[in-house]
């Protein structure tokens, strides 16, 4: 749907992975394309094959250091959310604040008109002809959920070359293009700033962050045992609780004001809805009630819901069927079929 001159300067976010490499290869023909690699964390080094990849693609490469901004906007947010007993979503935060936030500001100042990434999402015309964001064709890899907080005004400046492809097609294109072989072709890490995935150790290694032990209680407030610190738990968690029972316990609720973790059995995880704040709309903001599909975490299949405006930037979401493990701090995204309508931050579940 993109109507643009081939002379418009396009920045391609090149991570060094298969997805962004193939996206760059699809865009390079007839376009003024520059590869931009983001340095976000000292825990992740610049891929050794990155320069060879850019050379093979025939595009210039620029490395941009946004570590300070990333620490302020994403890492500090990640730590503070866990300290509050919430379940953060650093990828949603990073996309809005860094990749499509601060990076886009710098690119625009440098004269770029478009930003391309390897996200599995599609841009297509809405009924009025304006650009709208849709799920990627490959539903197993669809990443539109992570883009729910992008500003609507940015959509005309974005390119998602992989939106109509499956992951298998992308891998085949990478091989067919003869791009540099990589020793490690693992999928991108969800937490790029914690390469080993040990987020609890990461939190505890930060000066001043070590949640004190507290109580495990049931939904009636009865003591069940002791927990190791709020940062060790998230809503829906089953493993690592250390509470023997005939029927397994799950984390049902976090109570940071009391330093307590509420445990319950599987049915107690169900919620009839949620309250969300900080709404971001990729459509004209609804004036009243809205029917849509609510997605409460990545890979959640979605549930039909009534979205009721409660006030400035806040909504009450009522599910057509109860949903399990609604976690405050996570993002909720709203869809009309495959079209992404917007999203917000989950503040509380409705029992």
Catalytic choice (91, 94, 232, 266): 94
On whether the CB atoms of residues 100 and 154 are closer than 8 A, the answer is yes
Catalytic choice (91, 192, 232, 266): 192
Decide if 94 is catalytic: yes
Q: Which residues contact 248 (CB under 8 A, 6 or more apart)?
A: 238, 265, 266
Decide if 266 is catalytic: no
Residue 191 and residue 291: Cα distance in Å, rounded? 33
Per DSSP, which regions of the chain are E strands? 9-13, 32-39, 60-65, 114-116, 121-125, 131-135, 158-159, 214-217, 223-227, 250-255, 260-264, 270-281, 289-295, 303-311, 314-324, 331-336, 339-350
On whether the CB atoms of residues 253 and 307 are closer than 8 A, the answer is no
Tokens at residue 141, please?
């890899």
On whether the CB atoms of residues 296 and 332 are closer than 8 A, the answer is yes
Catalytic residues: 94, 192
């Amino acid at each position: 749907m993109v109507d643009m001159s081939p002379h418009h300067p396009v920045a391609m976010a090149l991570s060094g992975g298969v997805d962004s490499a193939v996206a760059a290869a699809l865009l390079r023909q007839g376009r003024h394309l520059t590869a931009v690699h983001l340095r976000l964390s000292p825990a992740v080094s610049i891929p050794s094959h990155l320069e060879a990849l850019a050379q093979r693609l025939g595009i210039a490469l620029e490395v941009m250091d946004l570590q300070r901004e990333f620490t302020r906007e994403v890492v500090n947010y990640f730590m503070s959310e866990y300290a509050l007993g919430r379940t953060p979503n650093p990828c949603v935060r990073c996309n809005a604040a860094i990749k499509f936030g601060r990076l886009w500001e710098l690119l625009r100042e440098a004269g770029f008109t478009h930003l391309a990434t390897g996200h599995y999402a599609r841009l297509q015309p809405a009924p009025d002809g304006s650009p709208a964001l849709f799920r990627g064709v490959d539903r197993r890899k669809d990443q539109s959920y992570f883009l729910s907080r992008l500003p609507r005004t940015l959509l005309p400046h974005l390119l998602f070359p992989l939106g109509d492809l499956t992951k298998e097609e992308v891998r085949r294109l990478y091989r067919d293009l003869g791009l540099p072989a990589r020793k490690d072709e693992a999928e991108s890490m969800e937490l790029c700033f914690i390469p080993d995935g040990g987020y609890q150790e990461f939190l505890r290694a930060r000066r001043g962050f070590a949640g004190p032990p507290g109580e495990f209680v049931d939904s009636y407030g009865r003591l069940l045992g002791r927990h190791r610190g709020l940062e060790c738990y998230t809503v829906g968690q089953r493993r690592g609780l250390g509470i023997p029972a005939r029927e397994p316990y799950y984390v049902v609720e976090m109570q940071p004001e009391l330093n307590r973790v509420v445990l319950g059995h599987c049915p107690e995880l169900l919620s009839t809805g949620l309250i969300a704040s900080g709404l971001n709309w990729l459509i004209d903001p609804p004036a009243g009630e809205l029917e849509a599909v609510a997605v409460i975490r990545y890979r959640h299949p979605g549930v039909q819901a009534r979205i009721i405006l409660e006030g400035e930037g806040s909504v009450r979401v009522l599910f057509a069927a109860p949903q399990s493990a609604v976690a405050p701090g996570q993002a909720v995204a709203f869809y009309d079929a495959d079209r992404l309508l917007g999203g917000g931050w989950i503040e509380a579940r409705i029992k």
